[in-house]
Amino acid sequence: GESVGLHLPTLSVQEGDNSIINCAYSNSASDYFIWYKQESGKGPQFIIDIRSNMDKRQGQRVTVLLNKTVKHLSLQIAATQPGDSAVYFCAASDSGTYKYIFGTGTRLKVLA
């Protein structure tokens, strides 16, 4: 069945360094992807999205890269701050179902 998986369950990063969170998806029909941030006790918060006709999209301090050939996307956070500590999820959808399949999540820990 479809799956969206993350390579690392926990990522520890020094404050000020860049963070890279990876995600693999299995459905080749997936053509829309979202990264969410979930802080403790809160619902997921939309960070950035990318459509399959793009391979890179930038936001404020965040960049998402999409490699459709290997069905992989990543979230890069520049100059990681303590407030970035959270669990990050990727989600994939396709125009056939419009349903979102969520990855297992990566916990980002920012070390002072």
Partner 1 sequence: SAVISQKPSRDICQRGTSLTIQCQVDSQVTMMFWYRQQPGQSLTLIATANQGSEATYESGFVIDKFPISRPNLTFSTLTVSNMSPEDSSIYLCSVEVGRRPSYNEQFFGPGTRLTVL
Query: Does residue 108 interact with partner 1 by CB under 8 A?
Result: no
The region, left, alpha or beta by phi > 0 then psi within -120 to 50, assigned to residue 75 is: beta
Query: Does residue 43 interact with partner 1 by CB under 8 A?
Result: yes
The residue range among 18-26, 30-38, 62-70, 73-81 that interacts with partner 1, by the rule CB under 8 A, is 30-38
- How far apart are CB 60 and partner 1 at their closest, in Å? 16
For 100, counting Cβ atoms within 10 Å of its Cβ (0-12 exposed, 13-18 middle, 19+ buried), the class is: middle
99: which residues sit within 8 A by CB, 6+ positions away? 93
- How far apart are CB 17 and partner 1 at their closest, in Å? 26
Output 75 or 91, the one with its CB closest to partner 1: 91
- Quick check: 62 and 78 in contact, CB under 8 A? yes
Query: Does residue 110 interact with partner 1 by CB under 8 A?
Result: no
- Which amino acid makes up residue 60? Q
* Spatial separation of the C-alpha atoms in residues 58 and 14, rounded to whole Å: 22
- How far apart are CB 46 and partner 1 at their closest, in Å? 5
- Give residues in contact with partner 1 (CB under 8 A): 32, 34, 36, 41-46, 49, 51, 89, 91, 93, 95, 98-100, 102-105
